[in-house]
Structure 1
Amino acid sequence: MNIRKFVVSLFLLIQGYISFAQNEKPNVVFILIDDLGYGDLANYGHLIAKTPNIDKFAKQGIKFTNFYSPSPLCSPSRASMLTGRTPYRLGIQSWIPEGDNVYLRQHEITIANLLKNNGYQCFLSGKWHLNGGLNEKTHSQPQDAGFDKWTALHAFAIPNHKDPINFFEDGKPLGKIEGYSGTIVVDKAIQYLDERDKNKPFFLYLPMNEVHGQIASPSKYLKKYNKYIKEDIDLVNLKDNGPGEYYANITFMDSEIGRVLKYLDKNGLDKNTIVVFASDNGPVTSQWRKFYEINLNGSTGGFRGRKADLYDGGIHVPALMRFPSQIKPGLVSSEPIHGYDFFPTIFSMLNVPIPKDREIDGIDISPLFTEKPISRNKPLFWAFEMRPSDDPEGYFYAARDGDWKIITDFEVKKVKLFNLKKDRFEVNEVSKANPEIVNKLKTYILEMKKSIELDPLRPKDVSTPNMD
């Protein structure tokens, strides 16, 4: 072999090794559902709505029965899951109406930022809702959060999930797109995966718009639940037309997720891809508070409250993970975990260090994948700025420590305490009988308030919560 052939052969060998090493890095798919309740899936107890793809997925990895979203509303919850930090540190205290000057700051490090820095291609298809609009020039956009390619809408499909008009792709408005939101989002996700560089690992963030209102589903799904659909909706008298359309949207969402999972299987990516599935907050139940919530019939699985509440109905939601090489199939964990735990857990699974220059509130829960205990050095925490039309009871903070859960007002004076082991539906308030527990958890909440106020990365222009 002459020198030239040797050099070429050595180069190809090195390139092949690099390609092999890159391909060996696990891919990551994060599927986030909008307003899905704990009881909305068949494998979490729904007796009518069919979710065969998610049911199958649940058996292939670990199912969490005590998973909590970071907030009872979407924007803070999403920001927290992507950064591992409680959302008040990020200055995102509630949902972000279009035009508001609230956004995820560029100094925050998201899952996509960190993965991109480690050689990953990062794609987003779905709902963003981490700024005041996808056309806001002064706000960070998905590309600033690490996404190489993205197709997204701001908060919800307009006018509804059929033929939406408010999607953007890489910063450019797309106008009206014919079809249903779930199909549009999954089509684009699969396109990104088809066109990706096959020599690099990928991260796909798939925040679905289902089952947030205003829902719309293809007729074949509506026909499955026809007997649960009645007459037309009456917005004046706040009367729905039955839960059938909501059930149809759940099954439609399941079918679209099934397309993504089947794509991974068909292309031999399933064994080397970490897949996360979760909901951003609890559901809108039939206890409607606003006219546009009519016809949403989410199930909390019996938990008290609903979306926009700090009771478990607003934050206790379904979550699943799958990764064949690290997660034993068929596991069910009742360990209380939090949405901000995903960030450190994913990077622990990838053996990638997480930032040390900021407070990361989540912990690595990967020991649960082999049925080992986890160690958490502080209670789970929630801070939620209610708007006047949201939570009517005025609770701003919550914490869970073991079986105990407390919720408090803004001043941390008015409290409710529950023992979730004895009272999982939060019926019996027991603060007067347990003053030591109350004082301990109140002290913790006040410490967290101070920690958030002093966080050097917290935006300086965060408004005081609206107490009216």
Structure 2
Amino acid sequence: MERKSKIRVGVWGAALSAAVACTPSQQSEKAGKELPNVILIHLDDMGYGDLSLTGATGYKTPHIDRMANEGLFFTHYYSPQAVSSASRAGLLTGCYPNRVGFAGALGPTSGIGISDDEVTIAELLKEKGYATAAYGKWHLGVQSQFLPTNHGFDEFYGIPYSNDMWPLHPTGTYPDLPLFENKEIVNPAVSPDDQAQFTTDFTYRTVDFIKKKHDNPFFIYLAHPMPHVPLYVSDKFKGKSEQGLYGDVMMEIDWSVGEIIKTLEETGLDKQTLVIFTSDNGPWLNYGNHAGSTAGYREGKGTTFEGGQRVPCIMMWRGVIPEGGISNSLASGIDILPTLAEITSAPLPEHIIDGVSLLPILKGDVEAKPRETFYYYYRQNSLEAVRHGDWKLVYPHPGRSYEGSQPGNEGKPGKVKEGYPFPGALYDLRRDPGERYDVSGTYPDIVGKLEQIANVARQDLGDDLTGNEGSNRRQPGRISGQ
């Protein structure tokens, strides 16, 4: 499919319209340089409470804290879904994952991946002349047709799926984990020593790309495999924290953020670069001391309770985003693509997307509410909850529960209850962010309002819990011939 059939003209970003309002053939070199660079730092399984600014103990994250002090912290930001592949599909396409045919986490033998018909952030920004790179974990399909260099990225250096999908998995059986350079496997069997260098290697790749491309706008997607288990850290941070290996890993990730900010300062790009820091979902709690913290939110990874999807998000853009901002407005990873489209005047996809632009918040209106509603989907296509404003309606559903089970230790998982029968409930997240007190009996009118909102989602995106297939879902990419 040709690019022009996948995109439509977007709105102009107010701050940059003067520089980019002309046609591509008329844009001057100066106008191109005025487009902001974008660095999206995406962690794996980091919980809401894993930063010192959100209550982490035993280690500090000063560089990430600095990002918040000099930028904007979103307190009600949600990953698109509570599991890796689906969450990443939502982040890079601006869509709910089930809209684009994604559910769960793809494995080494999965026959699907991101469709050629979808438009990624990288493809969107390449329309504006951006150089693009992806470093770290991909997890949107392992076959060549699904790799980053076929979906808008000029460079890729990293692993195709999760770092635990390898022969040393504590409970499963997997083949060797490969390391890719673009489409070529440069290391067919990643070792523990290799994993210990991941954070450092992917950071230096990012630093080098900034230095090489500093004269033109660029987009870097730095998707750290950590702090997903198995945890590995380089010698420079081994044993440095008071919280054991998990703290060591978070300290190294914080170092990585510091190296990137330092490079932007050294190249004079700190006022021309939007840096975004977030996580793909909440912590994998049954791994005990090798898992992160939800800061008290209920449950964790693999659940549609707050601990599974509410994660930190920080955006820093010196001179544009006011310093020290805190937004309590609802936001999600699916909103990043349309936000970047408005900032850069990049054309939006022709097909339906679900994200909204957060630019009013980034420009200083922290009370703006571009998003009022969020759908919590999980499993194949189950609408397990819906949020509108401060209210969250949870539907009866079978799910994962960590509560009441002894977690594992030192890289070994503990038991977790799968298929646990959660009852329905209405929660007021303003007063009860831990989702402990069902107030549906007190507010039946709110239940009715949220049910109407959910019915719209069921018609559009479907819902396995009610047997609705949905009318506007798209298929994932499939291996040719299958």
Task: Please name the residue that 1:144 is paired with.
Answer: 150
1:205 to 217, 221, 237: 221
Letter in 2 for 1:253: I
2:85 to 67, 72, 75: 75
Answering whether residue 119 of structure 2 is matched by residue 99 of structure 1, we say: no
Do the aligned partners of 1:121 and 1:202 also contact (CA within 8 Å) in 2?
yes
For residues 270 and 167 of structure 2, the distance between their equivalents in structure 1, rounded to whole angstroms, comes to 36
Task: Please name the residue that 1:26 is paired with.
Answer: 36
For residues 195 and 460 of structure 1, the distance between their equivalents in structure 2, rounded to whole angstroms, comes to 34
Moved more, 28-37 or 47-56: 47-56
Alignment of 1:7-86 (within 5 A): 18-86=28-96
Letter in 2 for 1:171: K
Q: Measured at CA, do residues 376 and 256 of structure 1 come closer, stay the same or move farther in structure 2, by a change above 3 Å?
A: closer
Secondary structure in 1 matching 2:274: strand
Do the aligned partners of 2:46 and 2:281 also contact (CA within 8 Å) in 1?
yes
Alignment of 1:119-158 (within 5 A): 119-131=129-141, 133=142, 136-137=143-144, 139-157=145-163, 158=166
For residues 54 and 345 of structure 2, the distance between their equivalents in structure 1, rounded to whole angstroms, comes to 32
Do the aligned partners of 1:383 and 1:397 also contact (CA within 8 Å) in 2?
yes
Structure of higher CA gyration radius: 1
Unaligned runs of 5+ in 1: 1-14, 229-242, 388-394, 463-468
Q: Measured at CA, do residues 153 and 377 of structure 1 come closer, stay the same or move farther in structure 2, by a change above 3 Å?
A: closer
Letter in 1 for 2:225: N
Q: Give the aligned length.
A: 411
Answering whether residue 436 of structure 2 is matched by residue 427 of structure 1, we say: yes
For residues 330 and 461 of structure 1, the distance between their equivalents in structure 2, rounded to whole angstroms, comes to 41
Q: Measured at CA, do residues 377 and 190 of structure 1 come closer, stay the same or move farther in structure 2, by a change above 3 Å?
A: closer
Secondary structure in 1 matching 2:271: helix
**How far has the Cα of 1:444 moved from its partner?**
2.1
Do the aligned partners of 1:404 and 1:418 also contact (CA within 8 Å) in 2?
yes
Deviations 1:11-55 (A, max 9, x none): xxxx9x933222121111111111110000001121322111111
Alignment of 1:61-460 (within 5 A): 61-131=71-141, 133=142, 136-137=143-144, 139-157=145-163, 158=166, 166-175=178-187, 176=190, 178=194, 179-196=196-213, 198-225=214-241, 228=242, 243-285=243-285, 288=286, 293=287, 295-355=289-349, 357-369=350-362, 370-371=364-365, 373-376=367-370, 379-385=373-379, 396-409=383-396, 415-452=424-461, 453-454=469-470, 458-459=474-475
Greater percentage in strand = 2
For residues 224 and 194 of structure 1, the distance between their equivalents in structure 2, rounded to whole angstroms, comes to 30
Q: Measured at CA, do residues 73 and 199 of structure 1 come closer, stay the same or move farther in structure 2, by a change above 3 Å?
A: same
Secondary structure in 2 matching 1:442: helix
**How far has the Cα of 1:115 moved from its partner?**
0.6
For residues 124 and 92 of structure 1, the distance between their equivalents in structure 2, rounded to whole angstroms, comes to 20
For residues 49 and 366 of structure 2, the distance between their equivalents in structure 1, rounded to whole angstroms, comes to 27
Do the aligned partners of 1:160 and 1:216 also contact (CA within 8 Å) in 2?
no
For residues 432 and 24 of structure 1, the distance between their equivalents in structure 2, rounded to whole angstroms, comes to 54
Q: Measured at CA, do residues 160 and 53 of structure 1 come closer, stay the same or move farther in structure 2, by a change above 3 Å?
A: farther
For residues 50 and 476 of structure 2, the distance between their equivalents in structure 1, rounded to whole angstroms, comes to 39
Moved more, 98-107 or 269-278: 98-107
Do the aligned partners of 1:72 and 1:314 also contact (CA within 8 Å) in 2?
yes
Deviations 1:44-89 (A, max 9, x none): 1213221111111111110111111111111111111111111100
Letter in 1 for 2:148: P
For residues 440 and 384 of structure 1, the distance between their equivalents in structure 2, rounded to whole angstroms, comes to 22
Secondary structure in 2 matching 1:66: strand
For residues 305 and 235 of structure 2, the distance between their equivalents in structure 1, rounded to whole angstroms, comes to 35
Deviations 1:84-126 (A, max 9, x none): 1111001001111221123111111111001112111111101
Deviations 1:357-379 (A, max 9, x none): 22221111221231254344751
For residues 392 and 46 of structure 2, the distance between their equivalents in structure 1, rounded to whole angstroms, comes to 22
Taking only the aligned residue pairs, the percentage that are identical comes to: 32
Q: Measured at CA, do residues 377 and 250 of structure 1 come closer, stay the same or move farther in structure 2, by a change above 3 Å?
A: closer
**How far has the Cα of 1:414 moved from its partner?**
5.4
Deviations 1:355-400 (A, max 9, x none): 3x2222111122123125434475111211179xxxxxxx752211
Letter in 2 for 1:397: E
Do the aligned partners of 1:36 and 1:282 also contact (CA within 8 Å) in 2?
yes
For residues 90 and 23 of structure 1, the distance between their equivalents in structure 2, rounded to whole angstroms, comes to 33
For residues 268 and 77 of structure 2, the distance between their equivalents in structure 1, rounded to whole angstroms, comes to 30
Q: Measured at CA, do residues 301 and 111 of structure 1 come closer, stay the same or move farther in structure 2, by a change above 3 Å?
A: same
Moved more, 186-195 or 338-347: 186-195
Q: Measured at CA, do residues 396 and 98 of structure 1 come closer, stay the same or move farther in structure 2, by a change above 3 Å?
A: farther
Deviations 1:323-369 (A, max 9, x none): 123211111111121111111112222233423x2222111122123
Letter in 2 for 1:430: V
Give the TM-score normalised by structure 2.
0.79
Task: Please name the residue that 2:20 is paired with.
Answer: none
Secondary structure in 1 matching 2:385: strand
For residues 214 and 128 of structure 1, the distance between their equivalents in structure 2, rounded to whole angstroms, comes to 17
Q: Measured at CA, do residues 52 and 70 of structure 1 come closer, stay the same or move farther in structure 2, by a change above 3 Å?
A: same
